[in-house]
Structure 1
């Protein structure tokens, strides 16, 4: 298959992705596993549209297992982290929200809303990077309201990362002072930390390297975390910098990770 025909196929899939209601699954909303099944549906359709990689299916299953152990809800420590994340993004001079295939498939509208609430840029950053996939994700975000999507230029590199995630835009992640990193991404999280960037990481596994190197680790499902950060950002929109700084300073990353691990180990909801 030529690159042109592959793009045409993915464009057709993307059109189907946009037109198909994400709630159109053969399970009633009253089903106790409805939200989980809906999420799986979005990831599966993301693969068909060329947005999500097949490896993303594995990552989704791993995250779903941890979410099940957390009770499939935003625990208090996660909500505190989401509030601190909102404050950190509002304080930033140049915040960037990093987007991979799973995130683009799961929360495109919510990402655009968060970017608008905190005046952040959106940048596509992929491990399994191809030109066609980068363009498909960028087009997908634009279809959901994004005006400027970064990542396609790739005129800079994160020091120490030899794989494709190291490719970033100079006026995006490379020059950002705060970066939101959704889902597991341990080596890039470490590398960004070494660049003295404040990192907000969303990861359902509190023992993963990503949240353990983050300035603000959020142990929550991305479908809940992103809109929660947006809600907190809107609540704090008129807060002065001293108030925002106090919220960030009072947040304890170690305590948040310990609380999430305790919830998983105890099974007490």
Structure 2
């Protein structure tokens, strides 16, 4: 099925397009087959959220944007699903906030790393990190431990969409500020994040970019106040409440 085969009148139009992008990502060697399973799991949580950005998530996206603007060395981590779903959007967020882009994969091969880097360049990226892999995140024994020394390893703030819980914990132990995008408020990644954004990456990344644009001329002390006023536990609780009590149409 191609995108043009899905009529916009279809009640699950957006969902079907998202699935198609993941399928196409697998065909192109960008997304692993396990990414299909992850997409289905996330879609279930999004359905329970009403497939919308709830108020607490929008606040978290604004806080995430403030963190990126305050950071000395922000990095956006990109895996296969992120590259398949929001390639242009992460490139734009990086450009607006001055962040680096770095490919990081659990099922890592040099071919997949190159394919994702090329895919991001096709969507406007000038530089993509992750190919050097000359540093390791302490405490991890799998391929996601491999990072660039001048990228994620030395970053002070990292956006980690659709993140593995163990790497999220390890990055936190390194003292990094983590902005996690995850549709499951009970996941380890969301639980350890400085800024848990419980939203679909399709909505979250453009929202963060919009907030970053609106905050670009904000003084550093005002940005810091936005950051200081944020309560991650409250954001997680609001998302869980929305999932448990929401009414499905």
- TM-score band by shorter chain is over 0.9
The structural deviation recorded for 1:23 is 7.2
TM-score, normalised to structure 1's length?
0.91
Q: For 1:53, what is the secondary structure of its paired residue?
A: coil
Q: Deviations over 1:53-90 (max 9, x none)?
A: 00000000000000000000000000000000000000
* 2:238 counterpart of 1:255: no
**1:120 paired residue number:** 99
Q: Equivalent residue for 1:229? A: 208
Distance 2:202 2:56 in 1: 17
> Secondary structure of 2:121's partner?
helix
Q: How does 1:51-130 map to 2 (within 5 A)?
A: 51-130=30-109
Residue matched to 1:267? 246
Query: What does the per-residue CA deviation read over 1:157-183, in whole Å, with 9 as the maximum and x for residues that have no partner?
Result: 000011000000000000000000001
Residue of structure 2 in register with 1:9 after alignment: none
Q: Is the 8 A contact 1:25 1:41 kept in 2?
A: no
1:150-189 matches, within 5 Å, as 150-189=129-168
CA distance in 1, matches of 2:247, 2:29: 39
Task: Call closer, same or farther: CA 1:173–1:86 in 2, change over 3 Å.
Answer: same
CA RMSD of aligned residues (A): 1.1
- Spell out structure 1 runs of 4+ moving beyond 3 A: none
Equivalences, count: 248
SS across alignment from 2:3: coil
| Per-residue deviation, residues 94-131 of structure 1 (Å, max 9, x unmatched) | 00000000000000000000000000000000000001
Give the unaligned 5+ runs of structure 2. none
- Secondary structure, counterpart of 1:217 in structure 2: strand
How far apart are the structure 1 equivalents of 2:214 and 2:67? 14
SS in 1 for 2:141: coil
Contact 1:184–1:208 (Cα < 8 Å) also in 2: no
Paired with 1:56 and 1:97, the residues of 2 have a C-alpha distance of 19
Determine if the alignment matches structure 1 residue 220 to structure 2 residue 217.
no
| Equivalent position to 1:148, from 127, 152, 157 | 127
1:49 aligned residue (22, 28, 51): 28
What is the CA–CA distance in structure 2 between the aligned matches of 1:58 and 1:148, rounded to whole Å?
Answer: 30
For the residue of structure 2 that corresponds to 1:150, the secondary structure is: coil
